[in-house]
A and B are shown apart, each in its own frame.
Chain A
Amino acid sequence: MPSVPQPKLGVGLLFNPVLPEFVTSHADAFDYLEIIPDREWSDRGVDATPRYATLDASFDLFRRVRERKPLLCHSIGLSIGSAGLFDLGHVDQINRIQTELDFAWHSDHLSFARLPGEHEMHTAISMPVPYDQEVLQLIKDRVEHIRAEVPCPFLLENNVYYVDAPDQEMSEPEFLNRLARESGCGILLDLHNVYVNSRNHGFTPESFLRDLDLSQVVELHIAGGDDLLGFYTDAHAGPVAEPVWGLLEDTLRAAPAVSAVTFEFHESSYPMLKTEGIVAELSHARRIWDRYA
């Protein structure tokens, strides 16, 4: 990946609960809509039948959007890096909604958050996996299953981390490069995550981007963050962090195959952004996109 070039989608928006009105009234502001399916269904648990109850209102809206624009699926619930748990039911469910909504591709996070057990645990924060050969093999096998099951490309997103485990066998870019080349998944490169990690762990985002095989990158995420306990976090708070615009330019210049740039913000920062703010961020991204894509 990307052995088959993906269609150029342009600049899109990650859907959240404050956006139904915007999606309808400002359809010209975005080229595609990315949805987090896990927020639009209720999961009654792996043993329940039926396991998932989808929210009718959201899916009605997505079907209407899909008539005019591409949709992307960005799941948060797979926990692909969990050692003792691979949720085949979740993959099935993604496949079911893919059949209905025809995503250009779907994605999840290179991390883990769930622990197996009689009462499954969830950390409520996505944790980094150790970048070791053993973990690479584990995730490669799972990507293979997902790609066989869901008939559209699959991407994994680089993670944010606030603690840094010592003596890992690979660096993060090295791990991502090998994972993409050896498993066939594409990379969803979250530029804000790179910026967050660079600030908290003392490296330059440029060095990270130099080490990453940008030919494997299909989609970019851009966002803003916040300060917390002396760290800079990936809070998706309001507008895109200023340095991320520069990283977007650098990346699009160096990676002309990138197919999409998605603006993410958390619904709690809507009072700060408002409709005009969302339009402004999307327009800013589009000006850069038009220059390089």
Chain B
Amino acid sequence: MSLAAYQEVLCRMVASAAYRERFLAQSDEFPGLTPLELHRLRTVAAQPGMRVNTAIHRANRMAPLHQTLPFTCFLLGEQLRETLDRFWGLYPSESLQLDTECGRFTHFLMEELNTGRVTGAYVEEVLLFERACAELRLRKPPLLRVVRFRHDPEPLLAALAQLELPDPAPEPGDYHLAIDCRQGDADFYVLSDQAAATILAPRS
């Protein structure tokens, strides 16, 4: 399985400049490679094109997140790059399937928000809203979702649709936005407290 070992080292070098440096410094310690494969890997690790591979790898990993969570990425602003670095450090390789990657990133970002490493007034509610929309596009049940907002979702989402921050700031409060795909296309409406309580009540 020497070809498999060769491919694994090559892929890890693409994903991480630090791994590449380590390989160049200590390539004799990488097991399972033939002398020819070692020679090839040492050569390509030192070629400037490897940096292009890494840049494309990163851009391609970012694309599905941008596609499914555009408002969240916008709200993260300058925190996005460092957040992605930490995310990619935890998951050195991606699932190219949008749903899996988006689910992983949502989970990761929720933890970052809980620990305070990522901050932002609207990030959590918008993240959960976009994740629900992404799942509903795949028609994952339940087809009626309720997302809790701590700010009036209507002006907030209207501003984000223009990739702008809402100005003035939306009214704080406890809002429940329904995304209803039971009839096909998504229907969005803000629920009364009573309706939200009914939908959210646990079923026996």
If the complex has contacts A83-B4, A127-B14, A166-B40, are A55 and B93 also in contact, measured as CB distance less than 8 A?
no
B96 touches A122 (CB 8 A): yes
Task: Type the 1/0 row for B91-105, where 1 means its CB is closer than 8 Å to any CB of A.
Answer: 011111111100000
Question: Which of A48-93 touch B at CB < 8 Å?
Answer: 53, 55-56, 77, 82-84
Residues of A within 8 A of B96 (CB): 38, 77, 113, 122, 124
Q: How far is A116 from B100 in the complex, measured between Cα atoms in Å?
A: 17
A84 touches B1 (CB 8 A): yes
How many chain-B residues does the 8 Å CB contact rule pick out? 41
Say yes or no: is A229 at the interface (Cβ < 8 Å to chain B). Answer: yes
A125 touches B49 (CB 8 A): no
Say yes or no: is A22 at the interface (Cβ < 8 Å to chain B). Answer: no
B44 touches A165 (CB 8 A): yes
State how many angstroms separate the Cβ of B7 from the closest Cβ of chain A: 5
State how many angstroms separate the Cβ of B87 from the closest Cβ of chain A: 13
Say yes or no: is B161 at the interface (Cβ < 8 Å to chain A). Answer: no
Please pick, from B39, B49, B93, the residue contacting A200 in the complex, using a CB distance under 8 A. Answer: B49
Residues of B within 8 A of A229 (CB): 48, 51-52, 55
Say yes or no: is B190 at the interface (Cβ < 8 Å to chain A). Answer: no
Interface centre among A119, A122, A164, by most chain B C-beta atoms within 10 angstroms, is: A122
Residues of B within 8 A of A115 (CB): 4, 7-8, 11, 93
Residues of A within 8 A of B107 (CB): none
Task: Type the 1/0 row for B76-93, where 1 means its CB is closer than 8 Å to any CB of A.
Answer: 000000000000000011
Interface size of A as a range:
35 or more
If the complex has contacts A55-B138, A84-B1, are A125 and B40 also in contact, measured as CB distance less than 8 A?
no
Say yes or no: is B139 at the interface (Cβ < 8 Å to chain A). Answer: yes
Residue on A with the closest CB to B37? A130
Segment at the interface with A among B56-64, B142-150, B195-203 = B56-64
Please pick, from B3, B39, B55, B94, the residue contacting A166 in the complex, using a CB distance under 8 A. Answer: B39
Say yes or no: is A25 at the interface (Cβ < 8 Å to chain B). Answer: no
If the complex has contacts A42-B138, A134-B3, A233-B52, are A125 and B14 also in contact, measured as CB distance less than 8 A?
yes
Residues of B within 8 A of A38 (CB): 96
Residue on A with the closest CB to B92? A121
Say yes or no: is B133 at the interface (Cβ < 8 Å to chain A). Answer: no
Q: List 11 A-B contacts (CB under 8 A).
A: A42-B97, A42-B98, A44-B97, A83-B1, A121-B93, A127-B14, A162-B49, A163-B49, A164-B49, A166-B39, A167-B39
Known: A83-B4, A123-B11, A127-B11. 20 other contacts (CB 8 A): A42-B100, A44-B97, A45-B95, A55-B137, A56-B139, A83-B1, A83-B6, A120-B93, A123-B93, A124-B93, A125-B14, A127-B53, A162-B49, A162-B50, A162-B52, A163-B47, A163-B49, A167-B39, A228-B56, A231-B49
A→B interface (CB under 8 Å): 17, 38, 42-45, 53, 55-56, 77, 82-84, 112-113, 115-116, 119-125, 127, 130, 134-135, 138, 161-167, 200, 228-231, 233
